[in-house]
Amino acid sequence: MVFEVKVGIIGGSGLDDPDILENRIESAIETPYGKPSDVIIQGEIKGVKCALLARHGRKHTIMPTNVNYRANIWALKSIGCTHLIVSTATGSLQEQFQPGQLVVPSDFIDRTTKRAQSFYDGGEQSPVGVCHLPMYPAFHEKTRQVLIDTARELNIDVHTKATIVTIEGPRFSSKLKV
């Protein structure tokens, strides 16, 4: 059986440039959770089908707390995305993580309070039932390894283990260097 991969990329600040895609087509998608952050731009990267969505909108006008995360994920799934790569620009409280370095996280802690936490919220448009999900592993290990191996092949400095702590934006979790 052949499994066709289609990668959905939710680009944060810096990784939402549609020029990375060949044969681009824009699609406006409606979801049970409303509109995603922007149109989805579908195309290919080196023969792999991909879809790009600018998390903060193409004009970077949506504050992090106001991003409709459920609509974004639902929209990408509805057009056939099998994998999601979600990038973010972030600060660090760890000295070993320097600006410009790539981090492929291994775990996360969600400290947000204003975002919907589930697709299964009992709403009229939501899937029926209650769905309890394990929090570990937080990320798909084979996908993480592809990202790590590719970064190494490209001689990109990559950290392979990190816990991301998500806070309400637009705050930025960085140490102030004096």
pLDDT, tens digit, for every residue of 57-79? 988 899 988 999 999 999 999 99
Angle at 111 between CA 105 and CA 117, to 5 degrees: 90
Q: Does residue 3 surpass a pLDDT of 90?
A: no
Mode of pairing for the β-strands spanning 107-110 and 83-86: unpaired
- pTM, two decimal places: 0.86
Angle at 151 between CA 138 and CA 135, to 5 degrees: 0
pLDDT for the residue numbered 79: 97
* Band of pLDDT at residue 14, cut at 50, 70 and 90: low
Which residues partner with 7 through β-bridges? 50, 83
- 28-37 mean pLDDT: 94
pLDDT for the residue numbered 93: 80
